[in-house]
Structures are given as C-alpha cells and as structure tokens.
Amino acid sequence: MKKPYAITLDVESSLANHTGSWRVERPQYVNLMPPCNNACPAGENIQNWLYIAEDGSYEAAWQALIQENPFPAIMGRVCYHPCQDVCSRAKLDEAVGINSVERFLGDLAIAKGWKIPAPEHASGFRVLIIGAGPTGLSAAYHLRRLGHDVTIRDAAKVAGGMMRFGIPKYRLPRNILNAEIARIQEMGVHFQLEHHVDNLQDAIDDGFDAVFLAVGAQIGKRAYIPACEAARILDAVSVLRDVEDGQAPLLGRRVVVYGGGNTAVDVARTAKRLGAEEAIIVYRRTREKAPADDGEIQEAIEEGVLMKWLATVKHAEEGTLKIEKMALDANGFPQPTGEFEELEADSLVLALGQEVDLSLLSNMTDLQIVDGTVQVDSRMMTGRAGIFAGGDMVPADRTVTTGVGHGKKAARNIDAWLRKGEFTKAETPEVIEYEKLNPWYYSDAPHAMRDRLEGARRATNFDEVVKGLDEETALYEARRCMSCGNCFECDNCFGVCPDNAVIKLGPGLGFEINLDYCKGCGICVTECPSGSIIMVPEKS
C-alpha cells in the first residue's frame, strides 16, 4: 500500500496494546454475606429474596424465601426481626422493613394460593417428628421437600404449638397460621394429632428410621412466693392456652403479671382484652434490661398496660400484693432495697420462663439432659444415633424463628444421616462491613411504617394490631435494600472504568473484567454501591 510521506506503518487500533500487563491488583466480583442474612435465625437469604421482589417478581421471591422458611406470613408477624437490627440501611437512614415485606409476600402467597414445589422423589425413609410447633413443622416441611415420608405427632387437637397456644391472636391471626400449616399438610406430611407421646422408645419401634424431638417448653416456671390460700396465682402459659381454647380464666379487675419477657407482655395485653381495667407488669429489672422485644413493650404501653420496673413480688394475699422496690447495683444487677409497697391485685400471673416436659425421655438413658434441656451436637443429634432434637427443648433462644431454623438444620442433617452421608453447609462468605459500601448511590428514602390500630381501640378486642403493607409500599420498602455484598446490576463498574475494561453480560448475568485491558486502578471497587467487587493481588 502506498503511504504518505514519512509514514511507514499502517494505522491500527490501540486494542493491540494490552494494558492489562500494567496491573498488580485485579478487581474480582464477589458475593459477600449481608448482615441481615447473617443475623437470621432461620438462615433466610433475605438480600436475595428482596432483590427478586424488587422488580415485582413476587412469586419467585416467595419461592426463594420458602427454600429456607415455610412461614413467611407468620414470620412477617411474630419474628422479632434481628435482621433489621443489623441492617446497613439503618446507618444511612432507617433499617429496611424486611419483616413487613416478608409478611406482604406471605399474605400474597396465601391470597394467590401459591404452591410449594413437589417433593423430591421418595427416599423410602420414614421420619417421626414429635411436636407440631414451629420447630417440628419446619423440620417436617424440609424433610418432606427432601423426599422423606414424614409423620408428625402432637398432643394438642390442632397443630401450631406455641404459635397457637402461646402467641395471642392479635399478633398472629389464626387464619394465617392455619393457611401456612395447611400448605405443609398438602405436601403429604402425616399429622397425628391428639397423640401424646409418653414413651419415646415405643414410638421409635413403630418403624421410623429417624426421630426429631421438638416438644418445646411449656411448663410455666414457678417461683416460690409466700401467699395466703385465697390469693389467685396463675401461670402465663396456662392463661394463654386457656384463652386459645375459648376458656378464658377469670383474672379480675386488676391483673398483675410478674416477669419481663415477651410472654409477660402477651399476657398483660391479653388481660386488657379480656376486660381487665388494669394490667400491670412487675419486673425486677429495668425496661432496657427486660428480655421482651421493645416494640412489644411499646405497643403494650400504648394499649394502657402499666409497667412497674425494678420491683419484685414478696407476698401475695387476697386482693393485694406486697412489692419490694429494687435498685441496680454497680454491675447492673437488681438488689433489694428493703422498701415495700402494697399493690392491689385480683390475680397474679407468673411469666417467669418455661421448662421442658422431659417425661417422654424418662427411659432414654443415653440422652444427656443438662439444666432441663436436651444436649445435641452440631448436627442437632442427641446422644442416641438417629434421634435429633431442636427448638425450645435444646439450649437456644426461645423464639419462633430460632425454632424454624432448628427445624431446617435438623432436617438437612437427618437427611444426610439417613443417606449415610454428612451434611456440609455451603461455606459462609465473609460478612460485609458498612464501610465497604458506597452509600452515596442510594436514593434517599426513609422507612415506610406499617399502620397500627390505635392503642385504645385495639386493647378491647383481639383484632390484629399491626396492618400489612399494600403492594406499592412493599415494593418501595424492598427497593430500599442496599444489596450489601451482592451485585444488583447498577452498571457503575461498567460505566466508571476509564479503560472500558468491564464487560456487561446482560440482565441477570452481571459483569466480567476484561483482563487484557484492566489496569487495576480500582475505581470500580470504590464506586460499587454494594461492595461486591474487591481487589486481589496479582500473582507475581
């Protein structure tokens, strides 16, 4: 080719110049553990189902959610959402209302009749579950999805356990509870209700290959309180159970509840609804130290429940209680002050925690019991091979969500044990820190609040207190998620690369670094909103 004067080479593109050779570090796309997922006792992949819900794919989001937890509508009401306590968005404005979106998805699933996918092909194994509370139901659900033949036995007439007999209707309407349990029944789990298991060995001999114990903790703890015979003292678990059975106990005009946990608050709020003029919670420590969820305490106060912090009941007589004032010592423990006062009370309800009924284990000597709970290993297996236990029976937080998590964990380990394998949990990635995010890019958006019935009005009936979100608000709330540690395809890396070295693979496929040209400047890492790109050193 004839070239102009002094030109000897053909013009070519700079693509011939592989600037990737300059690089000493390379960007790498990662999926890190968002704080919410890390905090979820049921092991939900929250960031993932929020991400799916963000474009309106609610059914797909619900399907992703129920891979870990079969009760979104229940969770969206009774879970104390530890996920929201650690949500990164709280550092920007307010935590994402994860719980309210979960409830929205759960309620929508019930309304639309979305189905759980058919179980895997039959394994041929039979598993017995004792206890149809959240833990047992969760285990049944997961075992059934894995293809096992599952039988669940419970002494009560209806399934649900503490979700039915411990959580009042105004927090968890029974049609919701029933709908989510019915779905598990439809999967082909055999329910044997009003079937009290008093001898575990006999049950095992019925031909089961594995057993999961989840009988819960339902015996109210009694504290020794000197009392005259006429004093009316009840325990919280029985009160809540009787109310559920339609046999509300006579509590009188003034009810004192002794204890500072969620059960105490539930009883006090229930007493108000049963017509008590006054319901007073007496607790030996302060509100900050009370184990009850602060939101629950707030709702109770709004309904007119009175709180007496730093007080213990010393003596109970007919119509009155003798209360001793307490004071916190330097270590934050309550100490008696010697100051007393009288409190009018027609009844005293003790909500001092619950114990496990271990009678069914009486002839199982190889099961280790410590402090009234059954000991299990990391697989949730007891001292006897093939017998697993979870929920309130074993040492752990006693919440519905923890129980659901136990059920899942036990199910996966039972499945592995039955198949003579070992369940290996996928490796947990590192939890992403807030400092690794670039919050600049998220639109300003405060939390959408859920409507609540007005305190005074709701205290007179058992209607559900907290209302759900409509679709628009749920979508808004889902979109507040910052996708911590996981790419959500905002195109920032693709845009900010001065070397045009990021390849956009298309919707849902993410991006790839073109290492021929990436100089390793790291702008994509700094400008990634969700912190899902990291720099790693090149091998020398």
Partner 1 sequence: MTTAPIKFYQVGSYAIGNRLLPSAAGSVQSDADRTNALTSGHRACQGCGEALGARYALDAAMRVANNKVITVNATGCLEVFSTPYPETSWRIAWLHSLFGNAPAVATGIAAALKAKGRTDIRVVGQGGDGATVDIGFGALSGMFERNDDVLYICYDNEAYMNTGVQRSGATPPAARTSTTQAVGEAPGNVFGQGKNLPRIAMAHEIPYVATATVADLRDLENKVEKAMQMRGARYLHVLVPCPLGWGSQSCDTVKIARLATESGLFPVFEAERGEVTASKKIRRQVPVEEYLKLQARYGHLFSPKRRDDVIDHLQAMADRNIVRYDLLESAGE
What residues line the site for partner 1 (CB under 8 A)?
9-19, 22, 54-55, 440-443, 445, 448-451, 469-470, 472-473, 475-476, 479-481, 488-492, 494-501, 504, 506-507, 514, 516-517, 519-523, 525-527, 529, 535
Give the nearest distance from C-beta 522 to partner 1 in angstroms: 3
Strand, helix or coil at 28? strand
Q: Helix, strand, or coil here: 214?
A: coil
C-beta closer to partner 1: residue 11 or 230 = 11
Shortest CB 305 distance to partner 1, Å = 23
Closer CB to partner 1, 318 or 491, in the complex:
491
**3-class DSSP assignment, residue 264:** helix
Q: Given phi > 0 = left and psi -120 to 50 = alpha, else beta, which region is 99?
A: alpha
For residue 142, give Cα distances in angstroms to 8, 117, 225, 361, 428: 73, 11, 44, 25, 21
Indicate the residue among 341 and 491 with the shorter CB distance to partner 1.
491
295/495 with CB nearer partner 1: 495
User: H/E element holding 406?
Assistant: helix 400-418
For partner 1, which is the closer residue by CB, 316 or 525?
Answer: 525
Distance CA 191, CA 183 (A): 12
Residue keyed to tokens 């074993």: 394
Q: What is the CA radius of gyration of the chain?
A: 28
CB of 34 to partner 1, least distance (A): 15
**For residue 336, what are the β-bridge partners?**
326
Nearest to 169 by CA among 95, 248, 106: 248
- Positive or negative CA dihedral for 201, 205, 211, 214? negative
Q: How far is the CB of 348 from partner 1 (least distance, A)?
A: 38
Q: How far is the CB of 15 from partner 1 (least distance, A)?
A: 5
**DSSP single-letter state for residue 539:** P
Tell me if residue 15 falls in helix, strand or coil: helix
**Per-residue b or e along 310-330, where b marks 16 or more CB atoms closer than 10 Å to that residue's CB:** bbbbebbeeebbbbbbbeeee
CB of 458 to partner 1, least distance (A): 15
Dist. CA 348–CA 201, nearest whole Å: 39
CB of 440 to partner 1, least distance (A): 7
Question: Which secondary-structure segment (H or E) carries 315?
Answer: strand 311-317
Distance of CA 169 to the CA centre of its chain: 19
| Least distance between partner 1 and beta carbon 47 (Å) | 13
Could you tell me which residues are beta bridge partners of residue 28?
534
Pick the closer one to partner 1 by CB: 107 or 235.
Answer: 107
Q: Are 477 and 99 in contact (CB under 8 A)?
A: no
| 373 CA to centre of own chain | 22
Could you tell me the smallest distance in angstroms from the CB atom of residue 303 to partner 1?
Answer: 18
* Complete DSSP assignment for 420-453: TS---PPPPPPBPPGGGS-GGGSPP-PPPPPPB-
Measured in whole angstroms, the distance separating CA 351 from the mean position of its chain's CA atoms is 23
Closest approach, Cβ 527 to partner 1, in A, equals: 5
By C-beta, is 416 or 503 nearer to partner 1?
Answer: 503
Taking the least distance from each CB to partner 1, the nearer of 333 and 441 is 441
Nearer to partner 1, 74 or 92 (CB): 92
> Of 100 and 151, which CB lies nearer to partner 1 in the complex structure?
100
C-alpha dihedral sign at 389, 393, 396, 401 = positive
Closest separation between CB of residue 11 and partner 1, Å?
Answer: 5
Instruction: Rank residues 197 and 453 by Cβ distance to partner 1 and give the closer one.
Output: 453
Contact 114, 161 (CB under 8 A): no
Task: Give me the least distance between CB of 51 and partner 1, in Å please.
Answer: 10
Nearest to partner 1 of 52, 179 (CB atom): 52
